[in-house]
Amino acid sequence: MNEKAEIPQQSRLNPPDLPVVATDGTGWTTVSASPAWWRAAGQDAAWTGVAEQIAALGEGSVRSALCRVTTATTGRPCRHNTAVHGPCPHHGPDHEAGRCGAATKSGAPCRWNLVVHGACPNHPESWESIVQAREQQERLAAAAREQEQRRLEEQLAEQYAETLLLPCSYCAASPGDRCISPGSGQVSAKLHTPRVKLRAHHADAAAAACTGCDAAVGELCRTSTGRPAVESHAPRRRAAELAVDTR
């Protein structure tokens, strides 16, 4: 894979000499130095200290987002950036899943990486299967989305039907009748907000008692003056939400 080389971080070691050390984020370092420095380094007793500095520089610059698995082809740590490009297709958790897998002459499954290189030149038929698997995945995802959409629509329809069973305090519609726009006298497409709130209040009341006003399960909340509250009290609403979540 063609990964764009990043400009290496450069730093200079301390004396005895001044080689240029580049780290690449994998723990490896590249040392660029004069022949004189290399010769001196080979004889200098301080070399072990310098080598330790180089190793520490490499380790200190490790970027955890890089794959860093030693690759079989180059013998160097892989520089695939998982933060930018996602899991490494060569060494990531799913890298074995995208192999060609067709039986080879030796009997071992073909290791051609379909995700990285596309269709296998020796076994084009294996590409078909990965394409089909992808299509199947997409179909399943689309079906799941559709099902979720239907579930939401059904839930809304159910809530509408439940709301319709209550009277509307805004337009005085009787239970079972749709709301009327007071201005035009026409049937309104939506049910009025106080009626919708009343349904939510009934649902909360059915799910939990209220610690705010001591209303029992099934009883609507009351205000401090004893009048019926429009909405359920906050603790009860939270308790009702929890009851729904853990159902």
Which one-letter amino acid corresponds to residue 107? G
Out of 57, 66, 78, 198, point to the residue binding Zn ion (CB under 5 A).
78
Q: What is the DSSP letter of 21?
A: E
- Counting contacts by CB under 5 A, is residue 114 touching Zn ion? no
Q: Please, which residue, 192 or 199, has the CB nearer to Zn ion? A: 192
Give 202's contacts (C-beta < 8 A, 6+ positions apart): 162, 166, 220
- Counting contacts by CB under 5 A, is residue 199 touching Zn ion? no
CB 234 within 8 A of CB 212: yes
- Counting contacts by CB under 5 A, is residue 166 touching Zn ion? no
- Counting contacts by CB under 5 A, is residue 205 touching Zn ion? no
Out of 179, 205, 208, 239, point to the residue binding Zn ion (CB under 5 A).
179
Q: What is the DSSP letter of 109?
A: B
Stretch that binds Zn ion, among 27-35, 40-48, 172-180, 200-208 (CB under 5 A): 172-180
Q: Where are the alpha helices (DSSP H) in the chain?
A: 35-43, 47-60, 82-85, 114-117, 124-164, 193-207, 234-245
The residues of the shown chain that bind Zn ion, judged by CB under 5 A, are 67, 69, 78, 80, 88, 90-91, 100, 102, 110, 112, 120, 122-123, 168, 170-171, 173, 179, 192, 210, 212-213, 215, 221, 233
